[in-house]
Amino acid sequence: MKHNWLVSILIMMVFSVLLLSSCKHEPVQPLSQPKANAECPISTIPTDFSDLDSETKTYPLPEGFFQEFIKYAFQYEGTHVTIPAQLPEEWNLLYREPLPASQELWLVQSADHDWTYLLVTAGQHVRDAVPVALDLASTGALIESEVWSWHRDEDGAFIVSKRYEKRPDVRDTTQHQRRIEALDRYVVSEAGQFKCTPQSLAEGTPYQVVILYNLAPERPDTWYDVMSSIAPYCEENNLYFVTVAAATEDLHHVIIEDYQLNYIATVDIAELVANTDHGIVLMQNGAEPRVENYSDNERYLQMKIRNYFNAINNINL
């Protein structure tokens, strides 16, 4: 009887052990921790805006970055953004460059690539900010565009080219065209702030330009034929070509650009064309400009252009 009792106890113990074993869960594996994002290495910010592209590596910014950054984002010296715009909240770090006094120069860009800023930081805290590149546009009755870009001088200063343009809708001739061109030079002071020195816009840049203009309510019937003939002739002979198609344009500030749309100079033709409805203005910096009457004869106009520039430069176009 005692033997049976012991056997029963042993059976119950084995059964209990088996029951407990069956109720145990698989051991819980610890959650894998996400890998920390690689820190942006210390390096030198490139010498030109064109060095940045879609392949440029980006790095995350510290938590709370935008709240600090926005305090300084529009407090910079120099020409300000013309088109009203709200800064995006998502940004990436592109470059870190060391500065004295344990400070750093950061180049950051919005996630949509429309804005690029330089920052002075200390201990990952923003101390100053200035925009150095942007690409904005606004459409409606007025078509606005604003493009900034930068390059670095040999001494490390940042030269920011700022260009704004407002054009009327082609269907609305009552609106005026407007352009703003500025060139600002930024350096970081010993106090860790961006200091701006405005630069002359292509001062002394040599230019030879032909300006085809129309100030009458209606353009001549042959306007586009003449334009399509004179424009390639100018390009072939290294002459800049500009059209002023309506009296509503600012005749005191006519922008000359090269064929890559780089700014060259601003000229005033208001007095030169005051007594004519249409024609061509021939100009070279340092020389007396000349106005020629409009003509349907494209070869005649080409001859006038050739004679003017040959005479003042003693060359043959």
Residue 129 lies inside a defined structural domain of this protein: yes
Per-residue pLDDT reduced to its tens digit, 138-174: 877 778 899 999 999 889 999 998 888 887 655 554 4
Residue 3 lies inside a defined structural domain of this protein: no
Tokens coding 61:
């910014």
Residue 27 lies inside a defined structural domain of this protein: no
For residues 258 and 305, the model is more confident at 305
> 45 pLDDT exceeds 70?
yes
Residue 8 lies inside a defined structural domain of this protein: no
For residues 290 and 205, the model is more confident at 290
Cα separation values, 83 from 116, 146, 305, Å:
16, 7, 39
* Pair 64, 176 in one domain: yes
d(CA 37, CA 56): 16
Q: Which band of pLDDT confidence, cut at 50, 70 and 90, is reported for residue 253?
A: confident
Q: Which of 198, 227, 258 is the last residue of a domain?
A: 198
* Pair 165, 238 in one domain: no
Q: Which band of pLDDT confidence, cut at 50, 70 and 90, is reported for residue 65?
A: very high
Average pLDDT over residues 78-97: 93
User: What are the residues whose beta carbons fall under 8 Å from the beta carbon of 292, sequence distance 6 or more?
Assistant: 279, 280, 282, 301, 304
Per-residue pLDDT reduced to its tens digit, 101-111: 999 999 999 99
pLDDT at 37: 39
Sheet holding 115-122, edge to edge: 91-99, 103-110, 115-122, 125-138, 142-152, 158-168, 178-188, 194-198
* Pair 248, 269 in one domain: yes
pLDDT at 32: 32
Average pLDDT over residues 108-136: 95
3-state secondary structure of 257: strand
DSSP-derived letter for residue 62 is: P
d(CA 250, CA 48): 32
* Pair 93, 135 in one domain: yes
Residue 155 lies inside a defined structural domain of this protein: yes
Average pLDDT over residues 8-14: 55
pLDDT at 303: 94
* Pair 251, 296 in one domain: yes
Average pLDDT over residues 301-305: 94
* Pair 55, 180 in one domain: yes
d(CA 227, CA 279): 11
Residue 38 lies inside a defined structural domain of this protein: no
Average pLDDT over residues 50-79: 89
Backbone angles phi, psi at 99, to 5 degrees: -125, 165
Q: How many domains does the chain have?
A: 2
pLDDT at 53: 72
* Pair 133, 91 in one domain: yes
* Pair 125, 81 in one domain: yes
> 18 pLDDT exceeds 70?
no
pLDDT at 110: 95
| Mean pLDDT for the chain overall | 82
Q: Which of 175, 198, 221 is the last residue of a domain?
A: 198
Per-residue pLDDT reduced to its tens digit, 176-224: 566 777 889 999 999 999 999 988 665 557 889 999 999 988 899 999 9
How are the residues of the chain apportioned to helix, strand and coil, as percentages rounded to the nearest 5?
20, 35, 45
pLDDT at 36: 33
Give the structural domain span for 279: 208-312
Q: Which of 154, 173, 198 is the last residue of a domain?
A: 198
Computed from CA positions of residues 280, 281, 284, 287, in that sequence, does the dihedral angle turn out positive or negative?
Answer: positive
Residue 89 lies inside a defined structural domain of this protein: yes
Q: How many CA atoms lie within 13 A of 212 on its CB side?
A: 28
CB count within 10 Å of CB 232 equals 10
* Pair 143, 233 in one domain: no
Domain of 235, CATH number, reads: 3.40.30.10
Residue 19 lies inside a defined structural domain of this protein: no
* Pair 58, 132 in one domain: yes
* Pair 75, 173 in one domain: yes
* Pair 100, 191 in one domain: yes
